Amino acid sequence: MKTPPGYLVVGFAGVAIYASAAFASVIVSPFFWTSHTIGAEVPWYFMGNAFIDGVAAAVALLLCAILGSVAARKLGAAVWGTLMPAFLFLSTQLGRGVAVMLHSRRIWAGPPAAESDWLTFTDYASGTNRATFIALACATAAALGFLLLSRRRLVAKREDAERG
Please give the model's pTM, rounded to 2 decimal places: 0.82
| Cα 124–Cα 114–Cα 95 angle in degrees, nearest 5 | 40
Give the helix, strand, coil percentages of the chain, each rounded to 5: 80, 0, 20
pLDDT, one tens digit for every residue, the chain (164 residues): 566 778 888 988 999 999 999 888 788 877 776 666 666 578 888 888 899 999 999 999 999 999 988 998 888 777 888 888 899 999 999 999 999 999 999 887 777 788 888 988 899 999 999 999 999 999 999 888 887 877 777 777 778 778 76
Contact between 71 and 47 (Cβ < 8 Å): no
CA–CA gap between residue 131 and residue 42 (Å, rounded): 18
CA–CA gap between residue 13 and residue 116 (Å, rounded): 36
